[in-house]
Amino acid sequence: MFSPIKNTKVYEQVIEQIKNMIIDGTLKKGDKLPSERDLVEHLQVSRTSIREALRALQIIGLVECRQGEGNYIRESFENSLFEPLSMMFMLQKSSSLEIMEIRKIIEVETTALASQRITDEELDHMKMLLDTIKSSADEGDKVKADKAFHYGIAKASRNYLIINILNAISSLMDEFIKDARRRILVEEENKDELAKQHDDIYKGLKSRNPKKASEAMKRHLDFTNEYYKDF
């Protein structure tokens, strides 16, 4: 199961062994890790090294500590990319336009995938969100429905990497979305335009037409990106 460690940077080697156990299937999502005492015994290292390794694994989002229960491999990783991406975003002094560019690159093809894999139940949910985007008098509800609409498309792609990447990108965009929508909606005719764009995406998904769906998403993102240029 484990191999004794006899080298420098001990905690990094502890991490490496745990990662290898995930790769070979010994550890799976939701599995409980051995206790600190057992890890010390199996790996023949100090408890300090074990704690350093576990703390590092918690920081990167691979392991979670449940109070009074022990350490577990995480079952959900939907928010695990947000922290490192947000730090990189701030340190690199990136602009929101860069996020929108990568979102466009990924999301257009994601919509094509989703059109081939989306279920009838998911389409019903998308229709409900679309109705909120079109008719709600509450802008806050429209923002939530808009985000959920795009996330629903990612989920329908059935590609877990895409879901996590777009979820992290969307979280980074939160602080810009309200201001951008405000700028877009200054022009009264844009309300109907935004609703039509979402409707076109929905129709592409419902018709199971990858070209139609992805082109509708591209038109929508090209339109909204124009209002992020000054952020």
| Range(s) of the chain covered by CATH 1.20.120.530 | 82-225
Q: What is the CATH number of domain 10-73?
A: 1.10.10.10
Tokens 């139940």: give the residue. Answer: 121
Question: Per DSSP, which regions of 22-150 are E strands?
Answer: 63-66, 70-73
Confidence of residue 204 (pLDDT cuts 50, 70, 90): very high
Q: What is the pLDDT of residues 35-94, one digit of tens each?
A: 999 999 989 999 999 999 999 888 777 899 998 899 999 887 766 666 667 666 666 776
Dihedral of the alpha carbons of 40, 42, 43, 45, in degrees to the nearest 10: 30
Reported pTM: 0.71
> For domain 82-225, which CATH number applies: 1.10.600.10, 1.20.120.530, 1.10.760.10, 3.30.420.40?
1.20.120.530
> What is d(CA 41, CA 46) in angstroms, rounded to the nearest whole number?
9
Amino acid type, 117:
R
At 87 the pLDDT is: 67
| Range(s) of the chain covered by CATH 1.10.10.10 | 10-73
Q: Which two tokens stand for residue 105?
A: 């690159």
Q: What is the pLDDT of residues 128-178, one digit of tens each?
A: 999 999 999 888 898 889 889 999 999 999 998 898 888 877 777 666 666
Average pLDDT on 210-217 reads 98
Give DSSP secondary structure letters for 38-71. HHHHHHT--HHHHHHHHHHHHHTTSEEEETTTEE
